[in-house]
């Protein structure tokens, strides 16, 4: 089949008269395999759900949707928190725009050793990475969901024995001018829970994590405060949010806490 060379009308390229600029226009829900370079320089393979969009001036009727996919195809196979800004700038240039936003959501894996046996196993963390360019200035947002164990201080205190515990999610979102590594967030928050979770646990490990959680009871209020306290001291973060959600073992709903802050240096 030969390429059709007839000139075709460029509907998107025509003039718009409504005098309304569009903040973001592009593609969404694109699934895309990714080689993610981590803090150590190693590559891990994952699959991202991608959103890409740019600002459109008031007098342009439409953007060029296929170019987003071409940028992603040609330059988006290998990314890191350090390279995402360059990719977003490349997208803005290709679309001949002044602003743009690149969003990647993907699972990130860490190979952890069990606390006693040392058995290795993967833990998966949901990550969202956003790079935004406005008039040449770039901002990055990183969101990491860290699964943990939480054990209820009230339940422990009032009961003869035992204490209800459950899986919880600590979600940290940080905004910065430059790169913050996913592993930095994980390291910062993982020890703020009653206990970490693991992929492979043998019996001596199970004894360890059970006792560790019991010795270290925490409400969502405790966890959210301890993580907030750690985030407050990182001068790179212009804005941060920490959320804790416990999938309560004694209810069919969650307990939830949220703190936001900004580490402005003004």
Segment 95-154, which members bind a copy of itself (CB under 8 A)?
A: 107, 109, 115-124, 147, 149, 151-154
The dihedral of CA 10, 14, 18, 19: what is its sign?
Answer: positive
Q: Which is nearer to a copy of itself, 93 or 260 (CB)?
A: 260
Contact between 26 and a copy of itself by CB under 8 A: the answer reads yes
Q: Which is nearer to a copy of itself, 48 or 142 (CB)?
A: 48
Binding to a copy of itself in span 32-91, by CB under 8 A: 32-33, 35, 44-47, 51, 53, 56, 61-63, 65-66, 69-70, 73
Binding to a copy of itself in span 225-244, by CB under 8 A: 225-226, 228-229
Q: How many amino acids of this chain bind a copy of itself (CB under 8 A)?
A: 112
Contact between 158 and a copy of itself by CB under 8 A: the answer reads yes
Quick one: tokens of 71? 């940028």
| Minimum distance from residue 157 beta carbon to a copy of itself (Å) | 5
What Cα–Cα distance (Å) separates residue 190 from each residue in 25, 113, 226? 37, 14, 11
Measured from the Cβ of residue 262, the count of other Cβ atoms closer than 10 Å reads 12
Q: Which of 138, 199, 234, 239 binds a copy of itself (CB under 8 A)?
A: 199
Q: Which of 187, 191, 202, 262 binds a copy of itself (CB under 8 A)?
A: 202
Q: Which is nearer to a copy of itself, 9 or 136 (CB)?
A: 9
Residues 109, 46: contact at Cβ < 8 Å? yes
Residue 128, strand partner residues: 105, 143
Q: Which of 22, 37, 82, 138 binds a copy of itself (CB under 8 A)?
A: 22
| Minimum distance from residue 138 beta carbon to a copy of itself (Å) | 19
Residues 78, 37: contact at Cβ < 8 Å? yes
User: What is the rounded distance in angstroms from the CA atom of residue 220 to the CA atom of residue 150?
Assistant: 8
Angle at the Cα of 169 (from 165 to 172), degrees rounded to 5?
A: 145
Q: Are strands 195-196 and 137-151 parallel, antiparallel or unpaired?
A: antiparallel
User: What is the rounded distance in angstroms from the CA atom of residue 116 to the CA atom of residue 129?
Assistant: 34
């Amino acid at each position: 089949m030969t390429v059709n060379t007839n000139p075709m009308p460029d509907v998107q390229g025509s003039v718009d008269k409504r005098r309304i600029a569009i903040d973001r226009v592009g593609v969404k829900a694109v699934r895309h395999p990714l080689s993610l370079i981590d803090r150590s320089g190693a590559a891990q393979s994952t699959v991202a759900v991608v959103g890409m969009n740019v600002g459109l001036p008031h007098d342009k009727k439409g953007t060029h949707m296929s170019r987003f996919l071409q940028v992603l195809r040609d330059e988006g196979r290998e990314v890191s928190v350090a390279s995402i800004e360059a990719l977003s700038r490349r997208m803005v240039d290709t679309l001949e725009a002044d602003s743009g936003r690149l969003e990647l959501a993907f699972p990130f894996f860490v190979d952890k050793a069990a606390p006693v046996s040392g058995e290795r196993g993967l833990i998966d963390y949901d990550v969202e990475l956003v790079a935004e360019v406005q008039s040449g200035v770039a901002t990055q947002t990183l969101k990491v969901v860290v699964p943990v164990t939480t054990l209820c201080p009230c339940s422990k205190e009032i009961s003869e024995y035992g204490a209800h515990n459950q899986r919880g999610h600590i979600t940290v979102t940080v905004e910065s001018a430059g790169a913050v590594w996913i592993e930095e967030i994980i390291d910062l928050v993982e020890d703020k829970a009653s206990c970490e979770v693991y992929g492979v646990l043998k019996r001596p490990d199970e004894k360890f994590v059970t006792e560790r959680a019991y010795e270290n009871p925490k409400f969502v209020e405790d966890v959210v405060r301890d993580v907030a306290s750690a985030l407050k001291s990182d001068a790179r973060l212009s804005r941060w949010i920490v959320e804790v959600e416990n999938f309560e073992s004694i209810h069919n709903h969650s307990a939830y806490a949220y703190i936001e802050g900004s580490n402005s240096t003004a």
